[in-house]
Amino acid sequence: MDFLVLFLFYLASVVIGLVLICVCSKTHSLKGLARGGAQIFCCVIPECLQRAMHRLLHYLFHTRNHTFIVLHLVLQGMVYTEYTWEVFGYCQELEFSLYYLLLPYLLLLVNLFSFTLTCVTNPGIITKANELLFLHVYEFDEVMFPKNVRCSTCDLRKPARSKHCSVCNWCVHRFDHHCVWVNNCIGAWNIRYFLIYLLTLTASAATVAIVSTTFLIHLVVMSDLYQETYVDDLGHLHVMDTVFLIQYLFLTFPRIVFMLGFVVVLSFLLGGYLCFALYLAATNQTTNEWYKGDWAWCQRCPLVARPPSAEPQVHRNIHSHGLRSNLQEIFLPAFPCHGRKKQE
């Protein structure tokens, strides 16, 4: 049973790593690396397996499906089951503060609530009924979002800061990105729930990691393990070092140590992405706009080859009006209620 749990944690870590690599590969600097890696795999993997892998990746990342929602809930359930089954019980025996031990559950409740809202909330789908409303929400900058442009798929006039999602097949107001973990676009009407979801998910992973680390350290201090000695394979006597201590704890509490490693890595990954999302919120940018702005900067770079006659257009963020206004725009989006009534 222990080996099955460890294998599932390992498999989940690989899947999360692959998803993050796929997300990162959207940047221009990593696209070439991703293509190079794909060419190498094409040389060693049979064509039938390549086609099967292509169909699988297309299903996972280019169609709406609940695969990552189920994986998300399974991972969260595994972590909290292990935390409840072993860490919580051991910490109670060691008389840890009950409020300290219950904090991860409080974060879990808020996280699941915001996760559900992010999944089911309309992100700001643009239709014929509400198209005119959204055209007047944001100003066109004539660089990244020119005026009088129609969506080639929906045949709707594209409001500023909108984008057609190729996965969901609709245009979204203030489009940020499509998130496979919630099986929904992140737009003007659910970005606030997504930020709360991301914040509580990071905090819950970090809290579980802190409690588990505190338990193991407390256990080592109480049992004086750091003062013990051990004999190696050659019969030499050694004082307990950090590597041997970790090995000992892993053999004694394998699931706790593996879970701890998993949530620590997850905390750093989520923490980095959370900082990026908060930066975008504070500067009133979307992921889509940051990505386009990054490409516009590359076009102005003297090392990038372009036609001599081509004049690079300078993009300027015209939507940022200070930290307070930027955050208010996210948590109090423009015309959400009126837009929903029009859509219905």
The pLDDT score that the predictor gives to residue 33 is 46
Which residues pair with residue 229 across a beta bridge? 239
Q: What is the pLDDT of residues 208-217, one digit of tens each?
A: 999 999 999 8
**DSSP H or E segment with residue 230:** strand 229-231
Cβ-in-10-Å burial (0-12, 13-18, 19+) of 266 comes to: buried
Which residues pair with residue 179 across a beta bridge? 184
The pLDDT score that the predictor gives to residue 249 is 83
The pLDDT score that the predictor gives to residue 30 is 42
Instruction: Give dist(CA 134, CA 311) in Å, integer.
Output: 31
Q: What is the DSSP string of 100-152?
A: HHHHHHHHHHHHHHHHHHHHHS---B--TTTHHHHHTTS---SSSS-SS-B-T
Return phi, psi of residue 115, to 5°.
-60, -45
Cβ-in-10-Å burial (0-12, 13-18, 19+) of 90 comes to: middle
Task: Pull the structure tokens for residue 310.
Answer: 């081509």
Question: Of the residues 179, 185, 298, 301, which is catalytic?
Answer: 179
Cα dihedral sign, 131-132-137-139? positive
Instruction: Give dist(CA 168, CA 214) in Å, integer.
Output: 44
Return phi, psi of residue 125, to 5°.
-70, 130
The pLDDT score that the predictor gives to residue 235 is 67
Instruction: Give dist(CA 58, CA 53) in Å, integer.
Output: 8
Residues of the chain under the 50 pLDDT cut: 1-7, 14, 17-31, 33-34, 296-307, 309-310, 336-344
The pLDDT score that the predictor gives to residue 251 is 86
Q: What is the pLDDT of residues 258-270, one digit of tens each?
A: 999 999 999 999 9
Instruction: Give dist(CA 31, CA 292) in Å, integer.
Output: 15
The pLDDT score that the predictor gives to residue 317 is 85
> Looking at this protein, which amino acid is placed at residue 252?
T
Please name the residues in contact with 137: beta carbons below 8 A apart, sequence gap of 6 or more. 159, 160, 173, 334, 335
The pLDDT score that the predictor gives to residue 223 is 75
The pLDDT score that the predictor gives to residue 304 is 43
Q: Which whole-number Å values give the CA distances from 56 to 19, 74, 128, 170, in the listed order?
A: 13, 20, 34, 23
Is 43 noted as a catalytic residue in this protein?
no
**What's the pTM?**
0.81
**145, 161 Cβ separation under 8 angstroms:** yes
